Structure 1
């Protein structure tokens, strides 16, 4: 029995050992099954393909591989202050949730974005009471790892969560690292794609908005692409030109053996990396001037070139207009100056330079044109004329310039305000006419209108104006006024004896003698025939008599070679209260009559006016 019992025990022990072994094998088989399942999820979740659903597949596979309910991938929100992240893929156990942006402060994610790998096997919601998302969704456990780029910079994080405690599976960390590496790579790839797409959008926007035409061609001069400006410039509809020869638009090109563009009209010289002016041809056959620049495009299997085309029709028209303008103003007889708003000369034409004595017009550039006005006029120009131009756009009137030699130049000037394209004031332009000759003629005409042509003395009309002004002054201010009237003695006999020509010369000489004797305030008028009148302001009767005596004596002694012994008689009167101009003249005339009656060649005074 003992032997038999022992054998039974041994058999039981063997059965027990075999049972344990079976259990171990079954457990190992389960482990292998789980491992195979995780390997399946790992392969599925981290495959090398890229698609819009890639990150969603990655989070779902990660959750399945680790046997948790939630998995998400978040990236740092670019350009935001603080540690804000945006969920870009969230698996909730049944489907994918919507992404959202959140502040990681006060959440377990805040530790991860600082660079830590975090594992809360339980009670994570209690550890972070301010994280409402954890409590609202009943999250118990949390595990996360930062996502880093090749340079070690954190770009986001990957996390798994569950509503029950999360055991520390031995391969969980390895799996999370593998998934995180793949997620980080995809985030960087997505960011690169985003930047490339953004750059392409910007380049396309720039390409389409460039005013100049931009055309790309390949090494057989075939057009590949062109922007809307080029299509519009040459008159073609979108899509008509790609695949056609560039010489359809810009004739004269050919390729060298080395594939370098040459142009026939530029001495067969290379124009790569240069610009030139040539002719463009529109779809309707019309030609127009263009400025053409060519650059080589590096990279790619074929040699390509970029043509930058600018329609310079307007520029050519402007250049021609400017040439005609300069030709006009440089040869114009009128002076022209253009100044900045602060008065500095920008341009002066040769006519104005000659007018003011500047040897070369360009030498005046930068000078203040105000310096060419006399000091007494500068304030008027600066304080009145220029503000009027700025307010109304123009001003015309007479002014005066001073030449380099100090000579005064009377001018008629027209000011104009020059504006830029948006209407803002830019320059002051002045057209200046030298009116020296006109002023001389005006003075001569005025002189002829008020003077006697033979003697140069004032005529009766001017005498009347002078008398009215002087009498008014006497009445207003209580001044004194005297009148002297004189007549050449025996003048009829002079004409009869020596002739009228000699008589005229005698009259002129008498007038010259009288003017030379009078004061600046006195005026001489030819009253008629051989009779003259002197108006003497600020002069009483006795002083007027002395003045008359001086004139009489000089006439008597005067050089009348043709007519010896020529004399004159004088009558003098002072304006009295109650006198009118007529009574004043009559009293003076009566005194002259008395002088003639008493023997001539003498001075007599008028008596007081009868009451």
Structure 2
């Protein structure tokens, strides 16, 4: 801390000198004012005496007997040493009739213009008399008109309406005024000096002693005795001064603490001031110790800008400071210079304009290690993401929140491929997935989700269909609950496209239930269907019939043309029969050349007519062998108590009877309907 106030003696000396100077100025001012006060008295006395002598001359002229007597009287009066000149002029003012100097008599005013009285001889009068005060010449002048009412001599008649001029020497009166002024000033000066001395002693006791105690406290503070404060005693003003000093020292202590904190901060703090006098930087030691920046080397904007490795980062920082006045959490790469390596820093800055200067306050922290660690983590994250993206399907994290909302904290890019999403579409919202699930599969999805979250979380798995730009795809999802501190429940799982597997399963399912040659339903697929159809017919009391068709002489075709031709004949037969059936009918290859046709909602008569129509259609069709072929059919209608085997057995019996009756016919016709057809032979 620097010295705050001068020493006590210097203060006392300056106070005494100031009081003496004030007393001296006051005494001089008082003397001058006293002189100015007595000077009018001297003027009035001198002018009055001159005017009185002029009036005496007027009386003497009126009573004088001759010019000689008048001259003697004038010379007698002018013998007074305080009278400098007397002159009497005629009425026309052309000549001096009598004067205190014989050389002036008989001369005109113009001849005496250079003398002390000449200017007053021709001076115009505005009244009967005038006076003039000339302190610079030390004289008073009285000019009076001669009023001669009863002249007793010729000389009096000559001077009638003339003028008399009297010039008095006022030096004595002026000197007396000065003397009186000096005496008064002396007394007043002595009084003021005595009063000043009393004031000084009083100030010394009431002001200087308390101030000295304050000063001693300040000296103790300078010496490091931070606990000693200025005594807050004495007059209210001194107490206020002591309080102000104590507050100032407390403020100074706080400033010292702030500066110590500023210097001990583990981050770099700097103030950059840019003005007309150049660039100035005030920075704490961490700027050099932690960032390697030597502030002394930064002397202008060019060296300041050279700190930034990336000019784009510098321009962006400058632009944001100009537009917003502040930047936060900005990461930039700097090159401190010298042997210091490049460093990544996180910085915040504030820009302000003060007194025409640009002031930028900066806080910066070295994040090089953090940046390198983050780069390593990002590389590892990218590697793991690449692995996740290379896995067929999509890897994801799904979080179900306590309020029922849901989101994907993580999902690999495979979801875009699965759902056919564009690069612009989001993948973090599960609703993107749910919106593409077919409505008929949504319920099982929600059911699986509820079951996985009932009680302790359990595995979730589901197979469902989604609609994409390429059509309908099957997806398989499997997720397991994760132990996670976040809100709600987190699942980690995978989605896989199983469309090809589902298509294969569908083909296998069809192959298992359909005849590969004709495409008709086979025995394994038909029996469950027939059971359901019989149950439905009984439940709703509806008719149900069944036809069994047996291709005539098929063995001969195989023998003559071979099995390949036989297969072609069977496929053609299935095509012909299927072309004549209703949408509700079912065509079945029962075995070899035997086929079954299931006819729902059809009674015995209707079944007979359909059978006859099919027989005729086959008989009229051209087959690959180039020959006409025929078919024998049996008809069976559902009866109470029928089983699947019983119903099929009756139809088979009808076909057998048709064969025994000559083929190319419908066997066991119901009453009222004659059998038709001819033998194939």
* TM-score class normalised by the smaller sequence: 0.5 to 0.7
Aligned pair partner of 2:461 in 391, 396, 401: 396
Q: Does 1:362 align with 2:429?
A: no
Equivalent runs, 1:279-358 vs 2, <5 Å? 291-292=344-345, 308-311=366-369, 312-325=371-384, 327-328=386-387, 333-334=392-393, 353=416
Counterpart position of 2:253: 193
Q: Kindly tell me: are residues 340 and 202 of structure 1, through their superposed partners in 2, closer, same or farther at Cα, counting changes over 3 Å?
A: farther
* Whole-angstrom CA distance in 2 between matches of 1:187 and 1:200: 20
Alpha-carbon deviations, 1:40-89, whole Å to 9, x = none? Answer: 5653355334355534x615xx2xx6xxxxxxxxxxxxxxxxxxxxxxxx
Q: Does 1:448 align with 2:511?
A: yes
* Whole-angstrom CA distance in 1 between matches of 2:501 and 2:586: 26
Q: Does 1:559 align with 2:618?
A: no
Counterpart position of 1:480: 543
Q: Does 1:493 align with 2:556?
A: yes
Q: How big is the shift at 1:444? A: 0.9
Alpha-carbon deviations, 1:375-396, whole Å to 9, x = none? Answer: 6259649966777788859743
Equivalent runs, 1:365-376 vs 2, <5 Å? 369-370=432-433, 373=436, 376=439
- Helix, strand or coil at the partner of 1:455: coil
* Whole-angstrom CA distance in 1 between matches of 2:648 and 2:242: 126
Q: How big is the shift at 1:551? A: 2.2
Q: Kindly tell me: are residues 385 and 265 of structure 1, through their superposed partners in 2, closer, same or farther at Cα, counting changes over 3 Å?
A: same
Q: Does 1:54 align with 2:116?
A: no
TM-score (structure 1 length as normaliser): 0.53
Q: Kindly tell me: are residues 290 and 400 of structure 1, through their superposed partners in 2, closer, same or farther at Cα, counting changes over 3 Å?
A: farther
Aligned length: 415
Alpha-carbon deviations, 1:255-280, whole Å to 9, x = none? Answer: 9977979999979xx99x9833899x
Q: Kindly tell me: are residues 381 and 586 of structure 1, through their superposed partners in 2, closer, same or farther at Cα, counting changes over 3 Å?
A: closer
* Whole-angstrom CA distance in 1 between matches of 2:202 and 2:632: 157
Q: Kindly tell me: are residues 32 and 313 of structure 1, through their superposed partners in 2, closer, same or farther at Cα, counting changes over 3 Å?
A: closer
TM-score (structure 2 length as normaliser): 0.49
Kept in 2, the 8 Å contact 1:481–1:536? The answer is yes
Equivalent runs, 1:147-166 vs 2, <5 Å? none
Greater helix content: 2
Q: Does 1:275 align with 2:332?
A: yes
Q: How big is the shift at 1:592? A: 1.3
Equivalent runs, 1:74-223 vs 2, <5 Å? 175-191=235-251, 193-194=253-254, 197=257, 207=265
Q: Kindly tell me: are residues 563 and 319 of structure 1, through their superposed partners in 2, closer, same or farther at Cα, counting changes over 3 Å?
A: same
- Helix, strand or coil at the partner of 1:402: strand
Alpha-carbon deviations, 1:94-133, whole Å to 9, x = none? Answer: xxxxxxxxxxxxxxxxxxxxxxxxxxxxxxxxxxxxxxxx
Larger-gyration structure (1/2): 2
Counterpart position of 1:78: none
Kept in 1, the 8 Å contact 2:438–2:465? The answer is no
Alpha-carbon deviations, 1:439-465, whole Å to 9, x = none? Answer: 221111011111223222222222221
Kept in 2, the 8 Å contact 1:337–1:345? The answer is yes
Q: Kindly tell me: are residues 40 and 290 of structure 1, through their superposed partners in 2, closer, same or farther at Cα, counting changes over 3 Å?
A: closer
Q: Does 1:599 align with 2:657?
A: no
Aligned pair partner of 2:473 in 409, 417, 422: 409
Aligned pair partner of 1:536 in 599, 616, 622: 599
Q: How big is the shift at 1:436? A: 3.1
* Whole-angstrom CA distance in 2 between matches of 1:52 and 1:314: 47
* Whole-angstrom CA distance in 2 between matches of 1:501 and 1:333: 44
* Whole-angstrom CA distance in 2 between matches of 1:560 and 1:258: 103
- Helix, strand or coil at the partner of 1:565: coil
Q: Structure 1: which 5+ residue stretches go unaligned?
A: 1-27, 66-174, 217-223, 228-241, 280-287, 297-304
* Whole-angstrom CA distance in 2 between matches of 1:427 and 1:256: 56
Counterpart position of 2:275: none
* Whole-angstrom CA distance in 2 between matches of 1:444 and 1:574: 33
**Higher relative contact order (CA closer than 8 Å, sequence separation 6+):** 2
Q: How big is the shift at 1:529? A: 1.7
* Whole-angstrom CA distance in 2 between matches of 1:255 and 1:54: 38
Kept in 2, the 8 Å contact 1:575–1:584? The answer is yes
Q: Does 1:505 align with 2:562?
A: no
Q: How big is the shift at 1:527? A: 1.9
Q: Structure 2: which 5+ residue stretches go unaligned?
A: 1-196, 271-283, 318-330, 350-362, 672-681
Q: Kindly tell me: are residues 380 and 371 of structure 1, through their superposed partners in 2, closer, same or farther at Cα, counting changes over 3 Å?
A: same
Alpha-carbon deviations, 1:332-376, whole Å to 9, x = none? Answer: 653678999978999997766566555x52366799625861662
Q: How big is the shift at 1:196? A: 5.9
What is the root-mean-square deviation in Å for CA atoms of aligned residues? Answer: 5.5
* Whole-angstrom CA distance in 2 between matches of 1:562 and 1:313: 83
Q: How big is the shift at 1:412? A: 2.9
Q: Does 1:582 align with 2:635?
A: no
Q: How big is the shift at 1:562? A: 0.6
- Helix, strand or coil at the partner of 2:560: helix
Q: How big is the shift at 1:530? A: 1.2
* Whole-angstrom CA distance in 1 between matches of 2:306 and 2:201: 76
